[in-house]
Amino acid sequence: MTLRRRTVLSMLSVVAISGGVCTLIGGHLLWRYLGREAENRVQQDLNAAREFYDHRLEAMAAALQYTALGERFSEAVAAAETGYLAPRLAAVRRSAALDLLYVADAQGRVIHRAHRPQASGDSVADDRLVREVLQGGGVTSGTMLVPVETLEKEDPSLAERARIRILPTPKAVPSDSTELDAGMMLCAAGPVFGPGGRLVGVLRAGTLLSRNYELVDQVQNTVFRGEQYAGKPLGTATVFQDDVRISTNVLREDGSRAIGTRVSAEVHDHVLRQGKDWLGRAWVVNDWYVSAYAPITDVDRKSIGMLYVGVLQRKFRDVALNTLVTFALVTLAGLLAAGLVAWKLADSVSRPVRALVAASEAVARGDFSGTVPVSSSGEISALMRTFNAMANSLRERDELLKQRTRLQLTRSERLAAVGRLAAGVAHEINNPLTGVLTFSHMLLRNAPENSQQKEDIEAIIDATGRCRDIVRGLLNFSRQNEPQKSLSSLNEVLRRALNLTRNQARLNRIAVVEDMDADLPHLVIDPNQIQEVAVNVILNAIDAMPDGGTLTVRTRAAAQDSGAAEGERAAGPSGEARPAGPPGRWAEFEIADTGCGIPPENLEHIMDPFFTTKPPGKGTGLGLAISYGIVTEHGGQIRVASELNRGTMVTVRLPVAPKEKADEDEAAHTRGG
């Protein structure tokens, strides 16, 4: 491809990328803005629906209160004059659109039912609202669940409306119920007082919400003004009994109301169980809506249903898509203009670039000494100067890389020499230390009690013991002890390590969480050495949580070694990254704490011998170095990930032996046992 074409394509790419990024960012911001506007609108619509709902209750209570205030009405109730009560209650029932209306005497016995004039004389004293009025309460109202059996006694048609078949709904809470056994009703009750303020009766009213579409259609027609979009209502409203739609203008594909369908488990848990409003994008029957849900509570403040309002999301999505199309057309126009300009610029650039091509070929062969003569002016001149600077920079970086490589090799050789020296010194010191400890213990037995001599000898024993521990750590670090491998359970090894440290964790108020993979294969390992690794890491985790926290120990199987993940360090001494092993089957365990974490500048050195951030006397700096040696001897890896003030996670990965090797070790273990 010629330089001219590359220049044109480059400029077109810049314009395309810029326009694309602007389009994406603008579309994202627009979508967020429209989403917020939609949610704000739905929240306001839900508040309006609540007002309608509460107004229905208030209107019902006001109708009862107004009716009970009539002097002639109270006299008729006291005298049980059904001839006067019947037309009066019938008029109230029609004007207030009530499904249930009756008056009872002061003992709770029904005098007259407006919805069933032929039924009277039964007692309703056990009704929740009637009982409250009889006990001296005033006008009260609220939402109640009324069993179907009770509705059957009041009016069989009400019971038939309340029996709603529950339809299977994706994403709903699993349920064995197939039909609702109660109806949700707006209820009110008020006292009827006679002369002298004496209670002579109770007025009781109710409106069944099941299959009653007056409220939801009022919300749709008033709030959304009946607006349609893409052949569907723009806004919908629903009354739920528990999580079942009992009154809705959400339509199925066949155009019928979606009575009996249910809400998703997420909304059910948030609204009904937690009693909170829910606002967001939700799939409602057959389309996406920006939805808002609010709990409906009964007279005892218990959540028994939900009030829903939703706006069709498709309208907001189409507005965003149309805007994105406009952005895309503007970008295409910019591409055409940029192509014409680029074609002219490429023609003026191609000639002096040939010299740069020849010099670039020399650099590609490793010759960084050549430079390009700066003979032109403008951008080409700047490009030539930049090329010369680049060649100089490459030459300097090449020299720097060689120096760093030499330093790294020197450091590795020094570390190897320290390991050999540590092994020799440890062997030389170990025997004299044993003699010092032996004779010190003999002197301690003969020392007088509570004497300065005894204190001095104990100090000698303590200091000598610490020296012995350091020497033993040096021996382990230099890997003079050969592991005694056998077929072992990694889970059991970790449980033994936890048992050794559990008391210390309890004293530090640390909660221990175990997450062991029960199907983890057995490993051919030295269980004592792997246990030592786990104990070292657990003790470091406990020290990192002086004020308490959580210690998590987890095991799992891994299909192959994927190397260190982002934010982790597969570390060896001096921060040397351990290369990933060959693909295979692995088992690994993680030990995570919620402690103070490791500073990034220390993370590269945590495996170095004698490196420690603990105060003097609290650590030797050999624990993780020894652990690294043990895991390396087993052909495994240690990875450390840490964040300040959030905790540290140490992952130890060990290879799973081939099946033939595991079978041989298991047979040998069985014979030895």
469-525 tens-digit pLDDT: 666 656 655 554 567 888 999 999 999 889 878 888 898 999 999 999 998 989 999
130-166 tens-digit pLDDT: 999 999 888 999 999 999 998 998 889 999 999 999 9
Number of folded domains that form the chain:
4
Q: How many helices (H) and strands (E) does the chain have?
A: 17, 20
Q: Please indicate, yes or no, if residue 624 is contained in any of the structural domains.
A: yes
Q: Please indicate, yes or no, if residue 333 is contained in any of the structural domains.
A: no
pLDDT band at 19, cuts 50/70/90? confident
Q: Are residues 456 and 497 in the same domain?
A: no
pLDDT score recorded for residue 77: 92
Q: Please indicate, yes or no, if residue 111 is contained in any of the structural domains.
A: yes
Average pLDDT, the chain: 82
Residue 143 DSSP symbol: E
Out of 394, 417, 440, pick the residue that ends a domain: 417
Higher pLDDT, 388 or 260: 260
| Rounded distance between C-alpha atoms, residue 593 and residue 501, angstroms | 14
Q: Are residues 468 and 368 in the same domain?
A: no
Buried b (16+ CB within 10 A) or exposed e, 461-483: beebeebbebbbbbbbbbeeeeb
CATH of the domain at 197: 3.30.450.220
Q: Are residues 397 and 452 in the same domain?
A: no
pLDDT score recorded for residue 635: 87
Q: Please indicate, yes or no, if residue 332 is contained in any of the structural domains.
A: no
**% the chain with pLDDT above 90:** 38
Q: Are residues 394 and 510 in the same domain?
A: no
Beta carbons within 8 Å of 539's beta carbon, 6+ residues apart:
501, 504, 623
* Contact yes or no for 457/438 (Cβ under 8 A): no
pLDDT score recorded for residue 164: 95
CATH of the domain at 572: 3.30.565.10
pLDDT score recorded for residue 3: 63
Name the token pair of 3. 């330089």
pLDDT score recorded for residue 209: 95
Name the token pair of 14. 């810049």
Q: Are residues 497 and 366 in the same domain?
A: no
pLDDT score recorded for residue 275: 92
pLDDT score recorded for residue 615: 65
User: Mind giving me the DSSP string for 2-40?
Assistant: -HHHHHHHHHHHHHHHHHHHHHHHHHHHHHHHHHHHHHH
Picking from 221, 246, 256, the residue whose alpha carbon sits closest to that of residue 296 is 246
405-430 tens-digit pLDDT: 676 566 556 655 666 666 667 667 77
pLDDT score recorded for residue 445: 81
Domain of residue 146 covers: 42-315
pLDDT score recorded for residue 163: 94
pLDDT score recorded for residue 237: 94
591-621 tens-digit pLDDT: 999 999 988 888 877 777 666 767 655 555 6
Q: Please indicate, yes or no, if residue 551 is contained in any of the structural domains.
A: yes
Is the pLDDT confidence value at 542 over 70?
yes
Q: At what angle do helices 3-69 and 82-96 cross, to 10 degrees?
A: 170
Is the pLDDT confidence value at 259 over 70?
yes
pLDDT band at 654, cuts 50/70/90? very high
Q: Are residues 141 and 202 in the same domain?
A: yes
Task: Over range 526-532, report the average pLDDT.
Answer: 89
Is the pLDDT confidence value at 330 over 60?
yes
Q: Are residues 430 and 287 in the same domain?
A: no
| Rounded distance between C-alpha atoms, residue 91 and residue 101, angstroms | 11
Q: Please indicate, yes or no, if residue 578 is contained in any of the structural domains.
A: yes
Q: Please indicate, yes or no, if residue 16 is contained in any of the structural domains.
A: no
Q: Please indicate, yes or no, if residue 142 is contained in any of the structural domains.
A: yes
Question: What H or E segment, with its residue span, contains residue 430?
Answer: helix 379-446
User: Mind giving me the DSSP string for 324-374?
Assistant: HHHHHHHHHHHHHHHHHHHHHHHHHHTTTHHHHHHHHHHHHTT--------
Q: What are phi and psi of 216, to 5 degrees?
A: -65, -35
Q: Are residues 287 and 309 in the same domain?
A: yes
Name the token pair of 254. 């066949």
pLDDT score recorded for residue 485: 87
| Coil/strand/helix, residue 673 | coil
| ∠ Cα 63 66 69 (to 5°) | 145
Q: Are residues 169 and 289 in the same domain?
A: yes
**% the chain with pLDDT above 70:** 83
pLDDT score recorded for residue 25: 83
Higher pLDDT, 195 or 381: 195
User: Mind giving me the DSSP string for 76-103?
Assistant: HHHHT-HHHHHHHHHHHHHHHT-SEEEE
Is the pLDDT confidence value at 107 over 70?
yes
Q: Are residues 469 and 506 in the same domain?
A: no
Task: Over range 532-549, report the average pLDDT.
Answer: 90
Picking from 589, 619, 586, 625, the residue whose alpha carbon sits closest to that of residue 605 is 625
Q: Are residues 178 and 288 in the same domain?
A: yes
Q: At what angle do helices 623-633 and 527-543 cross, to 10 degrees?
A: 150
Task: Over range 320-331, report the average pLDDT.
Answer: 81
22-78 tens-digit pLDDT: 777 877 787 787 778 888 888 999 999 999 999 999 999 999 999 988 878 999 999
Name the token pair of 74. 């109270």
Tell me the C-alpha to C-alpha distance, in Å, between residue 277 and each of 40, 266, 268, 290, 506.
13, 12, 11, 14, 41
Sign of the CA dihedral running 422, 426, 427, 428? positive
Is the pLDDT confidence value at 195 over 60?
yes
Out of 293, 315, 337, pick the residue that ends a domain: 315
Out of 315, 346, 369, pick the residue that ends a domain: 315
547-578 tens-digit pLDDT: 999 999 999 988 655 444 444 545 555 444 44
Q: Are residues 413 and 464 in the same domain?
A: no
pTM: 0.50
